[in-house]
Amino acid sequence: MSIQSANEYEDLQAQWSDLESGLGVILGNPDSTQEFAHRVVQYDRWMQGLLRRDPDVGLYLLFQLAANSPVGYSASHSLVCAVLCHLIALELGILAQERDSLVHSALTMNIAMTTMQDALATQVEKPSAQQKDMISAHAGKGALMLANLGVTNGQWLDIVSDHHDDAVERADFNTAPPTTRLTRILKVVDRYAAMISPRMSRAGRTATESARSIMANASVKTDEIGHALVRAVGLCPPGTYVRLDNEELGVVLRRSVQHNHPFVAIIGKSTGELISAPRLHWSEHAPHIRSSLAASAVRVRLNHFQILQLGAYAGQ
C-alpha cells in the first residue's frame, strides 16, 4: 500500500497522533479511566489496524515523532515500544496470547512514572534523589497499579514488574520460560527506543548506533532479540535520516528484503540544498548509505506526503 492522496495521508497521520494522545490520557489519568484494561486492549487493536494499513508508513511517522520532539515523551515512547514489540513478536513467531501480554506491557510499563517521565525528557539537570527513587520503584509500583486498575493477566503484570530486572537476562533465551523471554524483549526494546529519543539534556542517537550498541553489549543469550529487531525494522528504519556516500541526504522510506538496503527518498544535494522533488533510491545500488544521522542533525521542514507518495514505486 502507498499514500495516494493528501486526505489519506492526513487521516493516517491524525490517527497515529490520536492514538498517541489517547494513550497519553489514560496513562496520565489511570484512576479516572473507566475499564482501564479494556481501553489498553482497544488501543492495541487500533495500533494493529494502522500497522496493517501500511507498516512502513506507520514506522515512518513514529520514528519522525520519536526523534523530533521530547514533548509527551512517555506516551510516544510507550507507543514506539509497543509497535517494535509487535513486529519482533511476529518476526520470532511468538504465540498471539504471549504477543498480547508483551504489547500490553509495553503500553503500560511506565504507568507509575508517566508525569515524571515527561518532565525528565524536558529537564536539563540530572534526576534528583527523589526522582531516582521513583525510577527505581516504578516497575513494581506499576504492576501493583495495574492490578488495582483491573488487570488480571498475570503475565502482563509480571512483565511490567520485571522489565528492569537484570535477572531475566541470565537464562538462555531459547529455553527460558515464556514470561522471561517476553520480559527480555521489552527490556531490549525499551533501551533501544530510549536511545533514539531526544531529551533536553542530549540529542537522540541514530537508530543504527542504537541497534549496534544493543547487539555489541548483548551477551550471546540476548543477541537473538537484537537481530530480530534489525530484521523487523532494519538498521535504518523508515523515518530515519541517512547520508549517502556521494554526500546526498536521504530519509528512509520503506524497508526492503535486505535489512541493510532500504528504499530511501533523496531529499538533499551534496551541497546542502534541499531537492524540490525528492526521488526514490534503493540503497542496494550506488550511491550506498554511508551513515545514519540523528534527527537533530537535520533541521529541515519536509513535505512528508510528497515523500511518502514515492512508496508506490518501491520494489518496482
Residue 184 near residue 71 (C-beta atoms within 8 A) = no
Sign of the CA dihedral 123, 127, 131, 136? positive
Please give the span between the terminal C-alpha atoms of the chain, in angstroms, as a whole number.
13
Q: Residue 274: beta bridge partners?
A: 268
Q: Report the residue count for the chain.
A: 316
Torsion, Cα of 267, 248, 316, 50 (10° steps)? -50
pLDDT score for 218: 54
Question: Are the C-beta atoms of residues 107 and 78 closer than 8 Å to each other?
Answer: yes
Give the chain's domains with CATH numbers: 6-233 (1.10.3210.10), 241-313 (no CATH)
Indicate left, alpha or beta for 92 from its phi (over 0: left) and psi (-120 to 50: alpha): alpha
Report how far residue 313's alpha carbon sits from residue 3's, in angstroms, rounded to the nearest whole number: 11
Write the DSSP symbol of residue 307. Answer: H
Q: CA distances (Å), 280 to each of 9, 54, 310, 315, in order? A: 18, 18, 6, 10
Grid coordinates representing 109? 510499563
CB 71 within 8 Å of CB 122: yes
pLDDT at 131: 83
In order along the chain (316 residues), what is the average pLDDT of each group of 10 residues? 79 90 94 96 97 92 71 85 97 97 98 86 81 89 97 98 91 90 95 74 66 64 79 92 95 90 94 91 93 82 89 71
pLDDT score recorded for residue 272: 85
**What radius of gyration do the chain's Cα atoms show?**
19
Tell me how far apart the alpha carbons of residues 88 and 189 are, in angstroms, rounded to a whole number: 9
SS3 160: helix
pTM across the whole model: 0.92
